[in-house]
Amino acid sequence: MTLPGGGRTVTSVNEAPAVPRGERPLLVIEPDREKREYLRQVLQIEGFQTVGVETLDGGLDQDFSRYALLLVSMSGQTAPAIAELHERAPNTEIIAIAERGALDLALKAVREGAADFVVRPFDPAELVQRATRVLERRLREQELARLRGQMVDAGNFHGIIGRTSAMRKVFTLIDSIAPTDATVLVNGETGTGKELVARALHDLSPRRDKPFVSVNCAAIPETLLESELFGHEKGAFTGAIRRKTGRFEEAHTGTIFLDEIGELPLSMQSKLLRVLQERQVRRVGGTQAIDIDIRIVLATNRDLEKMVKDGRFREDLYYRVHVVPVTLPSLRERIDDLPLLVEHFVGKYRGKANSSAQGFSKNALARMSRYPWPGNVRELENFIERALILSRDRIIDDVDLPEAAAPNTLVSNNAAPLPVPTVVDTAIPLKDLIDQLTARLEAEYITHLLREYRGNIKKSYSHAGISRRGFFEKMRQYNIRKEDFK
Ligand SMILES: Nc1ncnc2c1ncn2[C@@H]1O[C@H](COP(=O)(O)OP(=O)(O)OP(=O)(O)O)[C@@H](O)[C@H]1O
Ligand SMILES: [Mg+2]
């Protein structure tokens, strides 16, 4: 048999019974024939399908992904570059085999991506044990990845609910950056779930078992902030009766989440910049620099770029924290997720509110979908909790949405028009502003009429003084459905 790419010396695939540890064969790359056969036999006895080759004669272009594990001899001139092997087949594990006294080569292999190593002479049982462990870990990781996929399909990614493409993009991004140590800035309006993202980043990282320290920069008075973040030495200031470790030190080996970073005073911004650059902290009143190994995640609902322009946020710090931005969409921008979120929160609060409610009526959901939710998911969550407490219905239909939802500020009961809201945003060209206001006015006017006439189209368009056709056209344009008003 030949290997894909054509190995020079190929021993046959061993016809072992069912392979207990993974479905794909193992590849032994060992120039010495005797040693190679020995390795193969050791593994074969344990039920691993094993292929042996002398060298990587087919070159690195071979398709290694068909193997679960490569056992690579680091001896001789022909020792393949582990980094390249690892890059070519990232889902194939590697165990490096080093000769006696060549521990440095084995360690180098591990740095380059090998999962483990053995040094000759080794006990065959040790090799089998290491191979088994590596393969089992690989299976576990695959299983986790599968479950993760299932969670995303179910619309629950580590407690972050969402199924729209906007949210799926966020989940994919979190998945790819979580395992790294990159500094992450989470952007998004209030209540969009920035804190949940910070936690997910930590939980999906190799630091998951280490501390997750969350600091709300806006909640700590400026005078205390430095000591809170960096700690202080005994006697550093009046009242500092004992040494205190700061939050950065507490987060050592783990993740620190700096929330509301836009509220950080300028003096602290320069100190934070230093931490980001040097990965060292100095306690207040201390002289010694303390090394810290931390992953930093920051969040803000402010427009940092604008704050930089206004001189309220350091530009150099902005570039430092802006390495990997994760931007959360507002609830308005992913309103198709509303029913899923509602279902989630009904489940969460039904018991607590001692409510027999099963959910919300279609009509109620439609009305909720038209409300702009300025407080985003937090506002929705609170709204649902309140509705469950107040309602006695099994299916809640009568939703009492806050003022902004009710377009009756535009048209009074007898339809005498009230003034159009004065949203004069000079940042927008006049024509666009007029278009936007017109659209808002029309949508609210139509909604109001339909509500007045309980979905009766004829009465509504007669009242509005426009044609039936024109009325339908506008309903289509603004996504208004008459069923929602019955
Ligand atoms: N996608 C989501 N799925 C489930 N719950 C969410 C989601 N987004 C937000 N929440 C819930 O909404 C509330 C607010 O979320 P969070 O504290 O993460 O918001 P935030 O973006 O940090 O807001 P702020 O800027 O006001 O601090 C929390 O109770 C959180 O559990
Ligand atoms: Mg927050």
Could you report the per-residue pLDDT of 187-222, keeping only the tens digit for each? 999 999 999 999 999 999 999 999 999 999 988 888
Separation of CA 187 and ligand 2 centre (Å): 10
Is the pLDDT score of 19 beyond 60?
Answer: no
Q: Which residues surround ligand 2, an ion (CB under 5 A)?
A: 195
Q: What does the pLDDT average to over 304-315?
A: 94
Q: Which residue, among 399, 438, 397, 393, has the nearest Cα to 420 in the 3D structure?
A: 438
- Band of pLDDT at residue 403, cut at 50, 70 and 90: low
Q: What is the pLDDT of residue 367?
A: 92
Pocket test for ligand 1, best of 152, 202, 331, 378 (most atoms within 8 A of CB): 378
pTM, entire model: 0.61
H runs (alpha helix) in 78-191: 82-88, 103-111, 124-153, 165-177
Tokens of 207: 């630091």
Which atom number of ligand 1 is nearest to the Cα of residue 186?
21
How do residues 341-400 score in pLDDT, each as one tens digit?
999 999 999 988 888 889 999 999 999 999 999 999 999 999 999 999 888 889 999 888
Contact between residue 251 and residue 281 where contact means Cβ atoms under 8 Å apart: no
Please report, for the chain, how many H helices and E strands are present, in that order. Answer: 17, 18
User: What distance in angstroms lies between residue 299's CA and the mean position of ligand 2's atoms?
Assistant: 7
Pocket of ligand 1 (CB under 6 A): 160-162, 188, 190-196, 301, 377-378, 381
Residue 131: exposure state from Cβ atoms within 10 A (0-12, 13-18, ≥19): buried
Q: Homologous superfamily of 157-327 in CATH?
A: P-loop containing nucleotide triphosphate hydrolases (3.40.50.300)
Q: Which of 250, 237, 241 is closest to 290 using CA atoms?
A: 250
Residue 84, pLDDT score: 86
Interatomic CA distance for residues 43 and 69, integer angstroms: 12
Fold of 331-485: Helicase, Ruva Protein; domain 3 (1.10.8)
Of 91-100, 130-139, 158-167, 401-410, the least confident: 401-410
How confident is the model over 154-188, as pLDDT tens digits?
899 999 999 999 999 999 999 999 999 999 999 99
> What pLDDT score does 17 carry?
33
Q: With pLDDT > 90 as the criterion, what percentage of the chain qualifies?
A: 53
Q: Which residue has the CA at smallest separation from atom 8 of ligand 1?
A: 193
CA angle 122, 96, 61 (to 5 degrees): 145
Give the per-residue pLDDT at 453.
86
Rounded to whole angstroms, how far apart are CA atoms 367 and 342? 13
**Domains of the chain by residue range:** 26-144, 157-327, 331-485
Span from the CA of 43 to the centroid of ligand 2 (angstroms): 53
pLDDT at 8 > cutoff 60? no
Q: What is the pLDDT of residue 57?
A: 63
Bridge partners, 161 (sequence order) = 156
Domains 26-144 and 157-327 share a fold: yes
Pocket test of ligand 1: the residue of 156, 301, 377 to mutate, having most ligand atoms within 8 Å of its CB, is 377
- Region 123-144: what's the mean pLDDT? 89
Exposure letters 249-261 (e unless 16+ CB within 10 A, then b): bebbebbbbbbbb
CATH fold of 26-144 reads Rossmann fold (3.40.50)
State the Cα–Cα distance between residues 152 and 172, nearest whole angstrom: 10
- pLDDT exceeds cutoff 80 at 12: no
Q: Given a cut of 60, is residue 313 above it in pLDDT?
A: yes
